[in-house]
Amino acid sequence: MNIPAPVRHPETPAAATVRLADKGLYLPLPDQGEAYFNYHWLRDNCPSSFDAGTRERSFDIFHLDAAPRAAQAVIDADTLVIDWQGEDHQSRFPLTLLASYTTGRPRKDPADKRRRAWYSNHYADVARFSQPDLMAQDQKVAAWIEALLIEGVAIITDMPDTDAGLTELAERIGTVRPTFFGSYFDVKTHINPTNTAFTAAALELHTDTPAEEHAPGIQFLHCRANSVEGGRNLFGDGVAVANDFRARDPEGFRLLSETEIPFYCEHDTYDMRSRQRVIELDEHGEVSGLTISQHMLDMIDLPQEFLDDYYPAFCRFGRMLQEEKYVMRFTLHAGECIVFDNHRIVHGRAAYTASSGDRYLRGCYTDRAEMRSTYRALTTEGRFKS
């Protein structure tokens, strides 16, 4: 007798079950397995907590009568639905949103780009953009910021020969950020100079205004005239030098990246002071840049015995910064504006003959955090756009 095999019905997959615990719940997530979420976090981040207009959190967890706790929680298609104990409130979370918060690591930042070190031969490859293009095209602004995030430097061409041309350019990245000497500065020879920059002398490689608690992030130098003899521009990538220093001189690197030293800027009406590390590391432990300025380095007030080790390391690094391998030399022309990360790129100039012609650079700064904000807004959708 031929008995037909029983027909097998495909098994209905077991409904994914949410397990409630004392302080949070366990949620099965597609491709990730079970993940834990704290009740405070869930209640605080209920999508209804955020105002559609302001895009800010309008819910105030401090006003809950008791610690939040789920009365029940179920998965409905691709959504977690929670009914809260003691509250007439239901939360609905897209599972994709929850899936991006399971690692406990900072959320992905599109502006967190890997830096690319550059050397003395970089001039031909420096990212270049024309000012009128940047004024007209958001995509160009995004590419410009990307260059600043990755290489820390860009040259803007076709600058209008006006003060407004610089302001308009800077405002494509952020707000002009004043320092204690004002919103803009003019680099030309002054009769009574209060700063080495305002003389015709050579200017060693440095970052600007290290004596401020938060030195400005992005520097703009708009060349309005340059017909002098000498005065070549010198630029170097602090990341390139510090990365090589890390390999060449690990103990020196440790001293320079861990020790705060004093910087100052002092004259008749001001006395700015700050303490900074020469080599700065980012949240990944990677070199993010430098703070260095021989003309604004204060008399180091650390224990003299400690300086037996620190000073030689500081000098080894300072000399390395000036090695030919790292120094990009060129002449900035009238109508160009060099834009660079003031916490990464060191800049200086050779001496020039003041009587040989005109040399006029007009500068300002914007903020790095605001630049990253502009970049994210230009390149991503954001979480709250409808």
Binding site for Fe ion (CB under 5 A): 208
Length of the chain in terms of residues written: 386
For the bound state, the minimum distance from the C-beta of residue 342 to Fe ion, rounded and expressed in Å, comes to 8
* Minimum CB distance to Fe ion smaller for 204 or for 280: 204
For the bound state, the minimum distance from the C-beta of residue 174 to Fe ion, rounded and expressed in Å, comes to 19
For the bound state, the minimum distance from the C-beta of residue 197 to Fe ion, rounded and expressed in Å, comes to 6
46 three-state secondary structure = coil
The C-alpha atoms of residue 278 and residue 260 are separated, in whole angstroms, by 7
70 three-state secondary structure = strand
* Minimum CB distance to Fe ion smaller for 24 or for 363: 363
Residue 155 main-chain phi, psi, to 5 deg:
-115, 130
For the bound state, the minimum distance from the C-beta of residue 361 to Fe ion, rounded and expressed in Å, comes to 10
* Minimum CB distance to Fe ion smaller for 208 or for 244: 208
* Start-to-end C-alpha separation, the chain: 66
Residue 173 main-chain phi, psi, to 5 deg:
-100, -40
* Minimum CB distance to Fe ion smaller for 208 or for 280: 208
The C-alpha atoms of residue 337 and residue 221 are separated, in whole angstroms, by 5
The alpha helices in 151-228, defined as continuous H runs, are 163-173
* Minimum CB distance to Fe ion smaller for 249 or for 298: 298
* Minimum CB distance to Fe ion smaller for 208 or for 336: 208
For the bound state, the minimum distance from the C-beta of residue 163 to Fe ion, rounded and expressed in Å, comes to 19
Residue of minimal Cβ distance to Fe ion? 208
The C-alpha atoms of residue 369 and residue 386 are separated, in whole angstroms, by 25
Beta strands 260-266 and 33-38: pairing type? unpaired
* Minimum CB distance to Fe ion smaller for 34 or for 212: 212
Q: Residue 37 in contact with residue 104, Cβ under 8 Å?
A: no
* Token pair belonging to 97: 């949103």
The C-alpha atoms of residue 166 and residue 221 are separated, in whole angstroms, by 9
For the bound state, the minimum distance from the C-beta of residue 150 to Fe ion, rounded and expressed in Å, comes to 22
For the bound state, the minimum distance from the C-beta of residue 346 to Fe ion, rounded and expressed in Å, comes to 9
